[in-house]
C-alpha cells in the first residue's frame, strides 16, 4: 500500500492540514508509529503522543487544536475512529479476494454455487444448500442440508453450520464457530437419569451479523434462535436455544445467554456476562463485565455486578466493602 493524505481524505471525507502528498505505507498506534505510517487520535488521554509521534499523518477530530508544533500531516474528520474503520475497510476491499472452487470439495447434487463465489478445499455443502452471490467459504467448512447463506457473507475456515440454519446477507462467521448445534435440553426422569429432548428448530442470523471465533449459537427446540441485524458477537460466546437477540447489540468475549432469554436492541454487553434463561433485557443498556443478570432489565440502564445493580450503586458498595474491616473493629 502506498497512498497520500489527500487520497485518504477523499476516502474518509476529511480535510488535509499539512503535506497532502507525503507517502503513507502503513498503519500504527500513535505511540509506536514510524515515518510512512498513518495513525489516529480519538481518545483525549493520548493527545500528548501527537507531539512526539513519528507518524507521517494523523486522523484527528475537526475541532482538534494543537498546543505545540506538529510534524505530522493532519487529516481532520468528524470521528477519527469511524474514519479509521472506513479507511481500513477500503484498504481491505482493495485486496484481491479468492474466487472459484478449490479441490477437493464435496458439493451435493443440485447445489448451485454462483461464479463469483469461493469455496475452499475440503469443504462440504449438503443437499438443498442455497448460496448467494459473492459468498466466500474458506477451507474445511461444513454446511448442512438446506442451509441458506445470503449475498456477500464470509464463512471462515473450520466453521460448522448445521442443517436448516439461515445466514443473512453480509454476515461474517469466524473460524471454529458452530451454528445450529443442539440446544441443551434434557428432561429429568424418575430414576434420576435424563432423556434428551429433540431440538428441531434452527438458527437465523439476520443481515450484517458478525460471530467471533469459537462462538456457539444453538438451534431452537422448535422455532428459531435469532440474532438480529447488525449484532456483533465476540469470540467464545455461548448463545443457547431459543434466545432472541435484537438489532445492533455488541457482546464481548465469554458472555453466555441461557435458553429463551430475550435481548433487545443497541445493548453493550461486557465480557463474561451471564444472562439467565427466560428473562428480558430492554434496549440501549450498558452491562459491565462479569455481571450476572438473574432478572429482567429495562432500557437505558448502566449496571454491573452480581446480581447486577446500578453502576453508581455498585461503586458505592465497593467503598462500603473496603471499609468492612474498619467497621467490624468499631463494633
Q: What is the pLDDT of residue 74?
A: 97
The neighbouring-strand residues paired with 257 are 239, 275
Q: What is the pLDDT of residue 95?
A: 78
Tell whether 316 and 184 lie within a shared domain. yes
As a whole number of angstroms, the distance between CA 306 and CA 274 comes to: 9
The neighbouring-strand residues paired with 245 are 227, 263
> Which of 59, 75, 94 corresponds to the end of one domain?
94
> Which of 46, 61, 94 corresponds to the end of one domain?
94
Backbone dihedral angles phi then psi of residue 179, each to the nearest 5 degrees:
-110, 115
> Which of 76, 94, 112 corresponds to the end of one domain?
94
**What are the angstrom distances between the C-alpha of 162 and each of 122, 125, 143, 180, 218?**
17, 11, 6, 5, 10
Burial 114-136 (b: 16+ CB within 10 A, else e): eeebbbbeebbbbeebebbebbb
The upper half-sphere exposure of residue 84, i.e. CA atoms within 13 Å in the direction of its Cβ, equals 19
| Position 26 in a domain | yes
Tell whether 221 and 306 lie within a shared domain. yes
As a whole number of angstroms, the distance between CA 30 and CA 48 comes to: 10
Tell whether 66 and 214 lie within a shared domain. no
Domain that holds residue 67: 5-94
| Position 62 in a domain | yes
Tell whether 86 and 165 lie within a shared domain. no
| Position 224 in a domain | yes
Tell whether 306 and 214 lie within a shared domain. yes
For the stretch 13-19, contacts whose Cβ atoms lie closer than 8 Å and that sit 24 or more positions apart, written own/partner, are: 13/77, 13/83, 14/59, 14/75, 14/76, 14/77, 14/83, 15/62, 15/75, 15/76, 16/73, 16/74, 16/75, 16/76, 17/73, 17/74, 17/75, 17/76, 18/57, 18/70, 18/72, 18/73, 18/74, 19/73
Other CB atoms closer than 10 Å to residue 177's CB: what's the count? 24
Tell whether 57 and 163 lie within a shared domain. no
Q: What is the pLDDT of residue 152?
A: 97
Tell whether 62 and 184 lie within a shared domain. no
CATH of residue 230: 2.160.10.10
CATH of residue 16: 3.40.1390.10
Tell whether 61 and 176 lie within a shared domain. no
Q: What is the pLDDT of residue 317?
A: 86
Active site positions, annotated: 241
Tell whether 169 and 304 lie within a shared domain. yes
pTM above 0.95, yes or no: no
Q: How many domains does the chain have?
A: 2
The radius of gyration of the chain from alpha carbons, rounded to an integer in Å, stands at 24
Tell whether 167 and 295 lie within a shared domain. yes
| Position 154 in a domain | no
Tell whether 193 and 308 lie within a shared domain. yes
Q: What is the pLDDT of residue 318?
A: 85
Q: Is 188 helix (H, G, I), strand (E, B) or coil?
A: strand
Q: Supply 139's cell numbers.
A: 477451507
| Position 254 in a domain | yes
Q: What are the per-10-residue average pLDDT scores of the chain (331 residues)?
A: 91 94 95 95 94 96 94 96 92 84 97 97 98 98 98 98 98 98 96 97 98 98 98 98 98 98 98 97 98 97 94 88 82 73
| Position 34 in a domain | yes
| Position 138 in a domain | no
Tell whether 22 and 163 lie within a shared domain. no
Amino acid at each position: 500500500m502506498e497512498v497520500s493524505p489527500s487520497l485518504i481524505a477523499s476516502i474518509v471525507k476529511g480535510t488535509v492540514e499539512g503535506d497532502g502528498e507525503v507517502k503513507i505505507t502503513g498503519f500504527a498506534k500513535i505511540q509506536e508509529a514510524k515515518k510512512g505510517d498513518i495513525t489516529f487520535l480519538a481518545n483525549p488521554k493520548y493527545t500528548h503522543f501527537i507531539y512526539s509521534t513519528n507518524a507521517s499523518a494523523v486522523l484527528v477530530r475537526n475541532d482538534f487544536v494543537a498546543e505545540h508544533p506538529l510534524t505530522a500531516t493532519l487529516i481532520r474528520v468528524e470521528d477519527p475512529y469511524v474514519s479509521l474503520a472506513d479507511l481500513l475497510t477500503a484498504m481491505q476491499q482493495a485486496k484481491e479476494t479468492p474466487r472459484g472452487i478449490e479441490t477437493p470439495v464435496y458439493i451435493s447434487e443440485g447445489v448451485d454455487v454462483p461464479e463469483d463465489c469461493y469455496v475452499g478445499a475440503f469443504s462440504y455443502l449438503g443437499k438443498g444448500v442455497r448460496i448467494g452471490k459473492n459468498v466466500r467459504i474458506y477451507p474445511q467448512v461444513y454446511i448442512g442440508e438446506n442451509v441458506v447463506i445470503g449475498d456477500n457473507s464470509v464463512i471462515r475456515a473450520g466453521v460448522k453450520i448445521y442443517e436448516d440454519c439461515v445466514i443473512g446477507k453480509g454476515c461474517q462467521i469466524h473460524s471454529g464457530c458452530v451454528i445450529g448445534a443442539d440446544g441443551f435440553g434434557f428432561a429429568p426422569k424418575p430414576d434420576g437419569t435424563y432423556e434428551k429432548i429433540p431440538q428441531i428448530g434452527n438458527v437465523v442470523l439476520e443481515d450484517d451479523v458478525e460471530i467471533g471465533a469459537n462462538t456457539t449459537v444453538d438451534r431452537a427446540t422448535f422455532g428459531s434462535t435469532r440474532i438480529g441485524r447488525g449484532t456483533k458477537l465476540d469470540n467464545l460466546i455461548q448463545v443457547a436455544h431459543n434466545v432472541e437477540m435484537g438489532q445492533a447489540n455488541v457482546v464481548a468475549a465469554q458472555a453466555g445467554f441461557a435458553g429463551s432469554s430475550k435481548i433487545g436492541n443497541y445493548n453493550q454487553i461486557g465480557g463474561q456476562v451471564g444472562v439467565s434463561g427466560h428473562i428480558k433485557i430492554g434496549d440501549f443498556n450498558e452491562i459491565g463485565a462479569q455481571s450476572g443478570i438473574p432478572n429482567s432489565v429495562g432500557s437505558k440502564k448502566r449496571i454491573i455486578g452480581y446480581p447486577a445493580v446500578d453502576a453508581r450503586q455498585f461503586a458505592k458498595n465497593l467503598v462500603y466493602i473496603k471499609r468492612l474491616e474498619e467497621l467490624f473493629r468499631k463494633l
